[in-house]
Amino acid sequence: MPRVTDLSSRIPRLSVTLPVGIGWARVRRTAARVGLVAAAVPVVTGLALMAAERLRRHRHPLDAPFPTAPPAHNTVGATTTTVYTFGDDLYAAMLDAIDHAEQHIFFETYIWKGDDVGRRFREALERAAARGVEVYVAYDAFANLVVRRSFFDLSARIHVLRFPWVRPGALVSPVRASGRDHRKLLVVDDEIGFVGGYNIGSHYARHWRDTHLRLVGPAVWELRNAFVDFWNRWRTPDLPMLKDVGSTAWLPQLRAARNSPSDLVFPIRNVYLDAIDRATSHVQITQAYFIPDREILAALLAAARRGVDVRVLVPERSNHVVADWLARGHYATLLRGGVRIFLYTDAMIHAKTATIDGRWSTVGTANIDRLSLTGNYELNIEIVDADVATTLERIFAMDLTNARELTSEEWEARPTLNKVGERLVSPLGPLL
């Protein structure tokens, strides 16, 4: 048998001896640097966009006149609804309700400016407390960091809950502990209630297009219950517990959906998904910040595929430029899928409303973005009523007169630099 020679022994072996650990140390350092760069790029891009927008806003402020409608009234069961589209009209109605309060006032807001309008609300609440009305106020500390703290030093007769902007557990459970109190509501004597997108301030009175809803009647319990639950959950030991009362009135066609991140409860997102999935004719959505997640995006595209006329109205420029650029990252997909996008021009539209098939509507505080749908405390009223839907459809048509439709051709032809910017800023999406 032929002899097989093992040639491997004749091949010279080369070996390089390196200091122990130097290779892995280099890899770790390189990985760390890459990670820092990857994290820094979207942040730096966002800061650059904010700086550029600040300069642009100085030259071209969002203060152009826009169409509004007078308060519109409808009846749902034993409850009267009123839709407001102009801040002066809304604030007058809210202040009138406060001035006629006899028993108690529950007032909750995200932003409360220390300007002329803010002082009018403060003075009205002080007058109510002075005449013996029980006044309870809740406001978000983080949203009002730029407002002097002394503005919120109300008289001892008023119970004030300053929702903390830093809370225990933020590092362990950021969803539960980092959400803001983004709600805006007022309840007077359990008879009149207000909820919607309007914060409190002079700028919002005339320069922002927003939408708010007033309820008069038994459905006000929906707002009272939302305030009481929030108050009792977050009150400090020096604040009184509010009585939790039931309701003998059931109105399934007018219900409140309340997000509560501390309990990981987020029904508003499900309300939108269920309503969009039911659409057979048309969907009309107005949003200040429109950054849909995968499921909502899929639901809108599915509706468009089955022939539903899906229209989304957003500001061409909002007060949050990073949110605008994140929203634009979805425009190509939406337009290719048959969703029509309308851009509100030369003014800020801050409304959070929708109506579907002339039957279902919602008005509230939640935007269609991560912060609102799975982060903040929010409150939306869901209404199944043809008359209310007709009112909101008329308002949507009015708003379209101050908007322009974005076409696929225009969007595809946008500058390459814009496309790059959208990609660079996209990692910030989970934060907003």
Residue 368 · residue 271 · CB < 8 Å: no
141-154 per-residue burial string, b: 16 or more CB within 10 A, e: under 16: bebbeebeeeebee
**Side chain identity, residue 133:** V
β 134-140/158-163 pair status: parallel
pLDDT for 208 beyond 90: yes
pLDDT at residue 4 greater than cutoff 50? no
Q: What is the pLDDT of residue 430?
A: 74
Average pLDDT rounded to a whole number, residues 398-416: 96
Amino acid at 282: H
Q: Which of 256, 279, 253 is nearest to 267 (CA)?
A: 256
| Distances, alpha carbon 187 to alpha carbons 125, 145, 190, 212, 364, in Å | 12, 25, 6, 14, 15
What is the CATH number that goes with domain 72-431? 3.30.870.10
pLDDT surpassing 50 at residue 390: yes
Cα distances from 131 to residues 86, 128, 137, 286, in angstroms, run: 30, 5, 17, 40
Angle ∠(409,412,414) on CA atoms, nearest 5: 110
Comparing 207 with 166, which gets the higher pLDDT? 207
Measured from the Cβ of residue 203, the count of other Cβ atoms closer than 10 Å reads 16
The per-residue pLDDT for 301 is 98
The DSSP code sequence of 321-368 is HHHHHHHHTTHHHHHHTT-EEEEE-SSEE---EEEETTTEEEEES--B
pLDDT tens-digit map of 52-110 = 667 776 677 788 999 999 999 999 999 999 999 999 999 999 999 999 999 999 999 99
Cβ within 8 Å of residue 237, ≥6 positions away = none
3-state secondary structure of 53: helix
pLDDT surpasses 90 at 46 = no
Statement: the pTM of the whole predicted model exceeds 0.85: yes
pLDDT category, 303, cuts 50, 70, 90?
Answer: very high
CA distances from 368 to 294, 303, 340, 372, 424 (A): 12, 17, 16, 7, 22
* Spatial separation of the C-alpha atoms in residues 427 and 152, rounded to whole Å: 37
Enter the tokens of residue 243: 């009585």
Distance CA 285, CA 330 (A): 15
Query: What average pLDDT score do residues 332-349 get?
Result: 97
Given CA atoms 84, 87, 88, 94 in this order, what sign does their dihedral have? positive
Cα–Cα distance, 88 to 44 (Å, whole number): 39
What's the pLDDT band for 170 if we cut at 50, 70, 90?
A: low
